[in-house]
């Protein structure tokens, strides 16, 4: 069922939902960007529509709501282990089509990746519902159309198109119709806004021969990439983490175990027992990341990991473009075929 709402009607709906759910959405933080006097759009709690940033792409994804950067899993003493409590209240997260597709990738990794379900992820995931934010036009560096993530038809309770003043909503969950109808909203045929073209286009090669591992294209990143890991931090589909034990006592027998976000681009990620380290060169790390996103994951699950959000391009201090690299890989593959 579709509705068109004024701002006050939409706020009435959010207030009603807020009684049961924590509401998260992209929020503009003025002056809190990484450089002096720059802004940043990150996910945060919201109470009403004025707090939601509808017109900019979020610099950081929703990912930390599902997989916090640092998450205490359990506490331990010499004799007892106790799982950490989680916030049991339900949550609604506003996100765009590419990020809806990223949720599918996170679910794949944490819930459908071999015999074991990640129970810590599942507990949080089970509490979360999604609202789709329509995209009337493409943002800078997005290449969702090439990655097939520009449209999404399910997985959300309603979609919302923001038109400057009013909100057009397509309600998918019939349980919510009562809330929208009682806001006084008028009924209207509504379809979520999806982009059909991006300025940036990539071509992902279907097959990548082993020869690509030795290709010259990676060498450029030995010097150019500074291995800061920002690209991993903002990526909605990067799922690597490391385990850290924090000890409360000198004997190391009382403390807590934390899962902390990891990055395949930074020093130490591939260090193994004895001090050995794979992928020392930054170009080798780039190769690992890129092929994982556009080839290795697909070999295992049948679809690409990268959703084409372009956030890694936006955040890289060295202006390294992931979409450019995809096209360079494609060109190298084609060259090798000749």
Instruction: Quote the least distance from Cβ 38 to ligand SF4, whole Å.
Output: 17
Q: Between helices 282-291 and 322-337, what is the axis angle to 10°? A: 80
Instruction: Quote the least distance from Cβ 105 to ligand SF4, whole Å.
Output: 8
Instruction: Quote the least distance from Cβ 326 to ligand SF4, whole Å.
Output: 9
Nearer to ligand SF4, 127 or 287 (CB): 287
Contacts of 285 (CB under 8 A, 6+ apart): 221, 225, 227, 264, 265, 269, 279
Nearer to ligand SF4, 51 or 284 (CB): 284
Nearer to ligand SF4, 259 or 293 (CB): 293
Nearest to 41 by CA among 23, 24, 58, 62: 58
Nearest to 143 by CA among 308, 337, 299: 308
Nearer to ligand SF4, 291 or 320 (CB): 320
Instruction: Quote the least distance from Cβ 89 to ligand SF4, whole Å.
Output: 29
Nearer to ligand SF4, 149 or 161 (CB): 149
Residues found near ligand SF4 in the complex (CB under 6 A): 225-231, 234-237, 265, 293, 306-312, 315-318, 320, 322
Report which DSSP code applies to 292: I
- Whole-number Å distance between alpha carbons of 103 and 255: 32
Instruction: Quote the least distance from Cβ 169 to ligand SF4, whole Å.
Output: 27
Containing 32, the helix (H) or strand (E) segment is none
Instruction: Quote the least distance from Cβ 276 to ligand SF4, whole Å.
Output: 22
- Whole-number Å distance between alpha carbons of 233 and 44: 16
Long-range pairs, 206-215, Cβ under 8 A, ≥24: 207/333, 208/291, 208/295, 208/329, 208/333, 209/333, 209/336, 211/336, 212/287, 212/291, 212/329, 212/332, 212/333, 212/336, 213/287, 215/329, 215/332
Using alpha carbons only, what angle is made at residue 315 by residues 302 and 99, rounded to the nearest 5 degrees? 40
Nearer to ligand SF4, 92 or 325 (CB): 325
Instruction: Quote the least distance from Cβ 319 to ligand SF4, whole Å.
Output: 8
Nearest to 111 by CA among 239, 224, 217, 11: 239
Instruction: Quote the least distance from Cβ 68 to ligand SF4, whole Å.
Output: 18
Nearer to ligand SF4, 52 or 312 (CB): 312
Nearest to 19 by CA among 54, 47, 52: 47
Nearer to ligand SF4, 236 or 261 (CB): 236
Nearer to ligand SF4, 13 or 265 (CB): 265
Instruction: Quote the least distance from Cβ 332 to ligand SF4, whole Å.
Output: 18
Q: Say if strands 167-171 and 2-5 run parallel, antiparallel, or are unpaired.
A: antiparallel
Q: Say if strands 128-133 and 90-95 run parallel, antiparallel, or are unpaired.
A: parallel
Nearest to 142 by CA among 78, 219, 58, 68: 58
CA dihedral 137, 99, 173, 303 (to 10 degrees): 110
């Amino acid at each position: 069922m579709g509705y068109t709402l004024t701002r006050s009607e939409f706020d009435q709906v959010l207030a009603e939902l807020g009684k049961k759910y924590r509401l998260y959405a992209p929020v503009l933080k003025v002056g809190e960007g990484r450089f002096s006097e720059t802004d940043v759009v990150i996910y945060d709690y919201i109470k009403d529509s004025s707090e939601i940033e509808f017109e900019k792409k979020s610099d950081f994804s929703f990912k930390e709501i599902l997989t916090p950067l640092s998450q205490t899993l359990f506490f331990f003493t010499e004799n007892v282990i106790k799982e950490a409590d989680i916030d049991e209240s339900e949550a609604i997260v506003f996100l765009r089509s590419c990020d809806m597709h990223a949720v599918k990738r996170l679910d794949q990794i944490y819930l459908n990746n071999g015999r074991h379900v990640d129970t810590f992820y599942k507990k949080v995931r089970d509490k979360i519902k999604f609202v789709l934010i329509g995209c009337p036009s493409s943002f800078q560096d997005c290449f969702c159309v090439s990655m097939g993530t520009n449209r999404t038809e399910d997985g959300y309770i309603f979609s919302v198109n923001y038109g400057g003043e009013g909100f057009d909503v397509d309600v998918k969950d019939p349980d919510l119709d009562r809330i929208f109808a009682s806001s006084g909203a008028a009924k209207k045929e509504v379809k979520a806004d999806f982009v059909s073209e991006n300025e940036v286009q990539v071509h992902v090669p279907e097959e990548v021969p082993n020869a690509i591992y030795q290709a010259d294209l990676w060498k450029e990143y030995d010097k150019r990439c500074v291995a800061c890991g920002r690209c991993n931090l903002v990526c909605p589909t990067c799922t690597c983490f490391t385990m850290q034990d924090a000890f409360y006592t000198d004997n190391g027998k009382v403390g807590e175990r934390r899962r902390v976000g990891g990055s395949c681009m930074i020093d130490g990620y591939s260090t193994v027992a004895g001090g050995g380290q794979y992928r020392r060169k930054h170009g080798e790390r780039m190769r690992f990341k890129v092929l994982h996103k556009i080839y290795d994951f697909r070999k295992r699950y049948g679809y690409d990991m990268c959703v084409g959000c372009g956030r890694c391009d936006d955040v890289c201090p060295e202006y390294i473009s992931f979409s450019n690299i995809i096209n360079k890989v494609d060109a190298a593959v084609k060259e090798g075929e000749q």
